[in-house]
Chain A
Amino acid sequence: GAGVSQSPSNKVTEKGKDVELRCDPISGHTALYWYRQSLGQGLEFLIYFQGNSAPDKSGLPSDRFSAERTGGSVSTLTIQRTQQEDSAVYLCASSLGGSNQPQHFGDGTRLSIL
């Protein structure tokens, strides 16, 4: 079956521009997560959705970052006024949402800010 799909796979943009990253989770998965992975670093938790609501936004690094999820499915992560330190791989994962369910990851969007 189809896994988690992320687009674009690569994005290069200039500092100060806004970017939108998209995540299409596994069908039927109610929980959705965004992470950031920088070179040599672990996965940094950004935000978690259960259905369309985000009970935990604690990981968003600044108010330039926002995310939404519509219809309990597709999610977009938006970064406004990008900075060079935003360069990283942004990973999306989904799970069945029940306790202890493992997360299944997409292959990420590699974001480079010039």
Chain B
Amino acid sequence: EDQVTQSPEALRLQEGESSSLNCSYTVSGLRGLFWYRQDPGKGPEFLFTLYSAGEEKEKERLKATLTKKESFLHITAPKPEDSATYLCAVLNSGGYQKVTFGTGTKLQVIP
């Protein structure tokens, strides 16, 4: 069974203090790893898809990287508006589009 573990569960940063969120996974053949952002009372918002080890994607202050066992979401000089829960999910190489989600990292950026 596919498993996704995210750490830390919660992270509090000062504005401008860079850090990284971790997503460790075990999957029977990775077809894609997804990062989402979720604000309170909202559905998850798609950020990135990574397909193979060594791949990197960037968007504003966020950069996602992928190895064979884990993915990192690096946040550079965060702002208060980056506060949200960040979710990681994996899609395996099975026949169905079943995505397994982690429980997320709740990020708070303090002005």
Chain A contacts to B: CB under 8 angstroms: 4, 31, 33, 35, 40-43, 45, 48, 50, 55-56, 91, 93, 95, 97, 99-108
Contact = CB atoms under 8 A, between A and B. Distances in A.
Contacts of B100: 45
Contacts of B97: 31, 33, 48, 50, 95, 97, 99, 101
Considering the complex of A and B, which 10 residue pairs feature the smallest CB-CB distances, nearest first? A105-B43, A42-B103, A43-B101, A100-B32, A102-B46, A56-B96, A42-B101, A107-B43, A105-B44, A106-B43
Interface string B80-111: 00000001010100011111111110000000
Interface of B: 4, 31-32, 34, 36, 41-46, 49, 51, 87, 89, 91, 95-104
B96 A48 contact: yes
B96 A100 contact: no
Nearest to A40: B103
Contact of A48 (B36, B51, B98): B98
